[in-house]
Amino acid sequence: MTGCDPFSPQVGDICPVASTPGSTPAAGSNTGYGSYGASGGAATTILSACGPVNVVAVDAGVTGNVVIADQFNNRVVELTRDGTIVWHFGDGTNTPGGTSIVGPNDAERLPDGGTLITGTGAPAGTEVGCGDAATAGAAGCVDNRVILVSGGADASIVWQFPPGDGTTVTGDDALNGPATARLLTTPDGGAHILIADTGNQRVIEVDYLTELIEWRFPPKTDASATQMLAGPNSAERLSNGDTLITDQAGNRILEVTPGGAIVWQYDLGLNTPAFASRLPAPPDAGADAAGNTLITDSNNQRIIEVDSSGSLLWSYPTTGTVPTRAVRLANGHTLIAMMSEDQVIEVDSKKNLVYSHGKRGLAGTSLTPSWLNQPYDVKVVGDYTGLTAP
């Protein structure tokens, strides 16, 4: 990576580690984590020395399967709310291939059952076999691909950008640590993929069929200083055609037009923001009203919601842990990936915890498939509130 490191350090209270984080199952299949689904059960019954893996409150609003980019287990999983894994992709290995994904930062389930996944890669020292973090210039385990994976038990790659083995990072048609990908429908019924290409300091829009870059920010030539990005970590296409970008190392959130003009920016006191989404405006706010923006302010250990004037309207502190993704759900709850705590949580509008999955500070491995290892992203299947709807 250049420009920023999208992987935040471990912080907060840590449970005793029962197994080696980053252990790698056997290569060559998509079943390296054993019998998925067998470890599910009633909520709060999967226990360890640090308490339950799953907590689900008695709340009718807590519904829908969740899809998690389980970063350093090199997999994406779909779970029911009791913790049963019902779908997965990734054989756990840290070499990119037809059945593997390395260090996924983002996963979006599409209406047809496919899943769009970014292979961001694993920095040196984060996984067994990915090198020593103390070695200067160590590359870690790279991937640098965006893939579309089919649904169902056979879960196979049906599209990939760029072609190849995911090791190339330079050149206009290469990626370097892509962080998010969104499917766009073009006016003529075609499909494009919007990608936050973190290490290449850009956001690009790729034609699904031709794999040509149709739009980019900043512009390829004559970009101004204010247009230049520093580790963009997410991009969402808004309903008005603008693009909302999280400029992580630039400590700002910006909205840009198709022509590249910056029409809105929020940069008040942010510290390495990892994600931002534009929430729907209230139904009575008028057709031209701008929705609020939900921001994952990672190294300030908080989630914040601000209005178009930059006023802070809501916040949720994640004291002691680094969040990497927060999305507002249709029920008004907020779903958060607590990467540095190996856990995902859901809180209601009053900040009550209504759901969690994963062991706090205890990384899962192939021996504990229901646990997580630095989950970077979590979403509810079919809920695109504030996100780019495919």
Got the DSSP string for 307-329?
-TT--EEEEEE-TTS---EEEE-
Which one-letter DSSP state was computed for residue 199? G
Residue 254 lies in a domain: yes
Residues 12-33 have pLDDT tens digits of 333 433 333 333 333 333 333 2
Give the three-class secondary structure for 340. Answer: helix
pTM of the model: 0.87
How far apart are alpha carbons 282 and 381 in whole angstroms?
23
Residue 72 counted as domain residue: yes
Q: Which two tokens stand for residue 375?
A: 């989950």
Q: How does residue 38 score in pLDDT terms, banded at 50, 70 and 90?
A: very low
In a domain, 324, yes or no: yes
Report, as an integer, the average pLDDT of 45-72.
74
Residues 6+ apart with CB under 8 A from 96: 102, 119, 142, 143, 144, 145, 165, 166, 167
| 204 CA to centre of own chain | 17
Residue 259 is predicted with a pLDDT of 97
Looking at the predicted structure, is the pLDDT value of residue 143 above 50? yes
CA distance 271 to 52: 32
Residue 207 clears pLDDT 50, i.e. is over it: yes
Confidence bin at 73 (pLDDT 50/70/90): very high
Model pLDDT, residue 11:
31
Residue 9 falls within a domain, yes or no?
no
What is the overall mean pLDDT for the chain? 85
pLDDT value of position 232: 98
Instruction: List the CATH number of the domain containing 197.
Output: 2.120.10.30
- Asked whether residue 174 is assigned to any structural domain, the reply reads yes
SS (H, E, C) 215-236: EEECCCCCCCCCCCCCCEEEEE
Say if residue 383's pLDDT is above 90: yes
Per-residue pLDDT at 365: 83
* Within a domain: 171: yes
Which residue's entry shows tokens 């057709």?
A: 287
For residue 253, is pLDDT > 60?
yes
Whether residue 254 has pLDDT greater than 80: yes
Q: Are strands 312-317 and 325-328 parallel, antiparallel or unpaired?
A: unpaired
At residue 56 the predicted structure's pLDDT band, cuts being 50, 70 and 90, is: confident
E strand residue ranges, 80-156: 85-89, 104-109, 115-119, 145-149
Most confident of 23-37, 56-70, 184-198: 184-198
| Whether residue 1 has pLDDT greater than 60 | no
Structurally, how many domains does the chain consist of?
1
Between residues 34 and 222, the one the model is more confident about = 222
- Cα separation, 12 vs 150, in Å, equals 37
Q: What is the mean pLDDT of residues 365-375?
A: 88
* 60, pLDDT greater than 80: no
Q: Yes or no: say if 152 and 176 are a contact pair by the CB < 8 Å rule.
A: no
User: What is the pLDDT at residue 24?
Assistant: 34
**Whole-angstrom Cα distance, residue 251 to residue 230?**
9
Using one digit for the tens of pLDDT, what is the confidence trace for 316-368?
999 999 999 999 999 999 999 999 999 999 999 999 999 999 988 889 887 88
**Structural domain boundaries enclosing 342:** 54-380
Average pLDDT over residues 265-279: 98
Would you say residue 7 lies in a domain? no
Beta bridge partners of 276: 295
Q: What pLDDT does 169 receive?
A: 73
Is 33 inside a domain boundary? no
pLDDT for 61 equals: 79
To the nearest 10°, report the CA torsion of 132, 137, 143, 146: 130
Give percent of the chain with pLDDT exceeding 90.
68
pLDDT over 90 (residue 36): no
Query: In sequence order, what are the beta bridge partners of 306?
Result: 293, 312
pLDDT band of residue 48 (cuts 50, 70, 90) is very low
